Copies of this chain bind each other. A is one copy, B any other.
Amino acid sequence: MNTDALFQALDRQRIETPSWGYGNSGTRFKTFAAPGAARDVFEKIEDAAEVHRLTGIAPSVALHIPWDEVEDYAELRRFAESRGVTLGAINPNVFQDDPYKFGSIANPDPEVRERAVGHLLECVEVMRQTGSRDLSLWFADGTNYAGQDDLRARKRRVREALGRVHDALPEGSRMLVEYKLFEPAFYATDLFDWGAAYAHCLAIGEKAQVLVDLGHHAQSVNIEQIVAFLLDEGRLGGFHFNARRYADDDLIVGTTNPFELFSIYAELVAAEGAGDDLTRTTARNVAYMIDQSHNIEPKVEAMLYSVLNCQEAYAKALLIDRERLAAAQAAGDVLGAHRTFTDAFRTDVRPLLAEWRRSHGLPEDPIAAHRASGYQAKVVAERGTAAAGGGFPVKS
């Protein structure tokens, strides 16, 4: 791939950052308050705009409702646009109200299910106002003890609720169905893996696609293979990028195993150029979103790091010599194929990306530029340190 083609491909990359990544977050033990952390949706959008200003590839912000609820979404949309970003995926929250203790759309109580579906439908309405294409659905539903509830009945409740939401989606929009192995449920999670999400999507309709969160799999699962499978079936809708080693650690994407992130992008790049229409179209419509918790590190800088890690992984994936790879694969040349694949990963793409940034009027080193910009000091001064709450009570 020559530099022109590379730069054109790099021009197309988009990473959506999440509003909640700019606010305080923590573990069940403690939420440490970060000085300058965004206190409301407007400050979150400002932080997201700073990330986009420095990287050029993070032009939208995902919202979490009701965390980011406002009276007037048209106004919020204008606010975002005035900062140079747009509003992205809408993420409903059906895990935090007290009635959701035993689940939302899978709850044994039909009233609770109705409440949950009602919130989801409100979020569909928000989509219309924000102009969002994607409704991003994660459910904390599950059980902690064997026998606690009927697994098949819960599955059917999930199916029914998803179907209702699906049918209410505006034309041209999608629902992205996320799965997760565990947490906060510790015996069984209702949408427990990609197979479950996929089966539901197939059953409810064309607007339903699967969302892959990199932190939601069992140990050792090959994520790039799931990505390839879903692309080939036309059902990969998007990503929640982050990194993990143990559980759903929600660390900065690419920090635990950068080779895995590269391997995932390698599948996406291949699919974007696939001969098969369905695969190619699916790949080109994938929503790339970050979903992380920056518990101990500065949030804006962490988000910059995340976006840049995705850019590096994508750039390396673009460098794979596809012809040579295909030839080695066809010949059963195991090590030749693997080496062709890993040679792209071995390449240091920082100079290339610095050049790409230069050519777009962006700072060559966005993190250094951010550190030099005084942005962090400014927001600390303006926002102070919000009470973080969270974690165990300090004193019962």
Partner-B contacts on A (CB < 8 A)? 20, 23-30, 32-33, 38-41, 44, 66-69, 95-96, 98, 100-102, 108-109, 140, 144-152, 155-156, 181-184, 186-188, 192-196, 198-199, 202, 217-222, 224-226, 228-229, 231-233, 244-247, 249, 251-252, 255-260, 263, 266-267, 270-271, 274, 279, 293, 295-298, 301-302, 305, 312, 325-326, 329-330, 332, 334-335, 337-342, 345-348, 350, 367, 389-396
Contact B391 A297 (CB under 8 A): no
Known: A25-B28, A219-B219. 19 other contacts (CB 8 A): A24-B393, A26-B28, A27-B183, A29-B95, A44-B396, A102-B334, A144-B334, A145-B251, A145-B337, A146-B255, A149-B337, A152-B274, A182-B220, A182-B246, A183-B246, A255-B338, A258-B345, A296-B334, A389-B389
**Chain copies in complex:** 4
Distance, CA A270 to CA B225, complexed state (A): 34
Contact partner, A305, options B260, B335, B347, Cβ 8 Å: B335
CB neighbours (8 Å) of A348 from chain B are 346-348
CB neighbours (8 Å) of A30 from chain B are 95-96, 100, 140, 184
Distance, CA A393 to CA B181, complexed state (A): 24
- 27 A-B residue pairs with CB within 8 Å: A23-B393, A32-B98, A41-B396, A66-B394, A67-B393, A67-B396, A109-B332, A144-B295, A145-B252, A145-B297, A145-B338, A147-B329, A150-B326, A155-B228, A156-B232, A181-B221, A186-B246, A187-B245, A192-B225, A193-B221, A219-B220, A246-B247, A247-B247, A257-B259, A297-B335, A346-B350, A390-B390
- Chain B nearest Cβ from A320, distance in angstroms: 8
Distance, CA A146 to CA B194, complexed state (A): 21
A296-B144, A390-B392, A395-B69 in contact; A195/B196 too (CB < 8 A)? yes
Contact B183 A247 (CB under 8 A): yes
- Give 10 closest A-B pairs by Cβ, nearest first: A195-B195, A147-B341, A218-B218, A219-B219, A186-B249, A348-B348, A27-B184, A145-B338, A182-B246, A151-B228
Distance, CA A31 to CA B170, complexed state (A): 35
CB neighbours (8 Å) of A312 from chain B are 346
Distance, CA A108 to CA B247, complexed state (A): 26
Distance, CA A293 to CA B345, complexed state (A): 24
CB neighbours (8 Å) of A147 from chain B are 266, 325, 329, 337-338, 340-342
CB neighbours (8 Å) of A217 from chain B are 218
A184-B29, A297-B335, A393-B390 in contact; A251/B144 too (CB < 8 A)? yes
Q: Select the residue from A98, A224, A329, A341 with max chain B CB neighbours within 10 A.
A: A329
Distance, CA A101 to CA B32, complexed state (A): 7
Contact partner, A296, options B101, B224, B296, B302, Cβ 8 Å: B101
- Chain B nearest Cβ from A335, distance in angstroms: 5
Contact A335 B245 (CB under 8 A): no
Contact B296 A108 (CB under 8 A): no
- Chain B nearest Cβ from A54, distance in angstroms: 14
CB neighbours (8 Å) of A218 from chain B are 217-221
Contact B29 A338 (CB under 8 A): no
Q: Which residue of B lies closest to A99 (CB)?
A: B32
Distance, CA A29 to CA B96, complexed state (A): 7
Contact partner, A341, options B39, B146, B252, B396, Cβ 8 Å: B146
A39-B396, A145-B335 in contact; A224/B279 too (CB < 8 A)? no
